[in-house]
Amino acid sequence: MATSEYLFVLASLVLLARSVRAAILHWSRRTKYPPVAQAQVAVTAIVVGNLIAAGMVWMVTPGSFPFRLFGVPADAALGFGLGLVVYTFGFRPFFRDPWKGVTIGPWWWVVLALVTGVCEEFVWRGFAYARGRTLFGPAGGLLALTLFAVGHMGRGLPGLAGPALLGLVCSLLLDFRGSLGAPIIAHATYNFCIGWKRERNGTNTRSRSVQAVW
């Protein structure tokens, strides 16, 4: 893949991520549906957006990854442990959260964690980070890490600590283990912990008004 092709795909991925988030919040401002339904639609949109992004990467780089998609059982244990560590030390509450306190059920978070864990690692570590390092050296890896964190700007600046630390840990796991298994488990664990905390701290009410802030 040429440098120009890589940069074009990378820019498209960032625009896709930002467009999905912008569309979610624009819809939430205008709809009169209950906050629970709004949050469920938002989760669905994030899942679909991740599947589209992974499909884009697969189409432009079919079967050309220099690592294993999944590794040995040790990768799962390592990824799970580091995912908990990143959540413990890196997560900050969402600064801009239009559905704060609204619960949607744990299974929504299971699906979200699995899809984002697989798709985002496939895209950001498997493609953006690995290919960026091949083309530009360490600067390419840093570019991928920066764009991954910036893609989560909807959380506000305080919320970037977790994604930035997660991206760094998952990148090091890919380098160390040579497969996406550990990064996927770490990412999925981190995202599920966020959802689990929201479910435990939230109130499942359908009468709250939602004020989306972008």
Range of weakest confidence among 82-96, 122-136, 167-181, 186-200: 82-96
Buried b (16+ CB within 10 A) or exposed e, 4-23: eebeebbeebbebbeebbee
Q: Mean of the pLDDT values across residues 64-74?
A: 64
Chain position carrying tokens 């893609």: 151
Range of weakest confidence among 23-32, 78-87, 129-138, 154-163: 154-163
**In percent, how much of the chain has pLDDT > 70?**
81
Q: Which residues contact 64 (CB under 8 A, 6 or more apart)?
A: none
Terminus-to-terminus CA distance in the chain, angstroms?
36
Where residue 170 falls among pLDDT bands split at 50, 70, 90?
Answer: very high
Reported pTM = 0.85
**Roughly what angle, to the nearest 10 degrees, separates helices 181-201 and 106-120?**
150
Question: pLDDT of 183-213, one tens digit each?
Answer: 999 999 999 998 888 888 764 443 333 333 2
Question: pLDDT of 41-54, one tens digit each?
Answer: 888 988 999 999 99
Where residue 19 falls among pLDDT bands split at 50, 70, 90?
Answer: confident
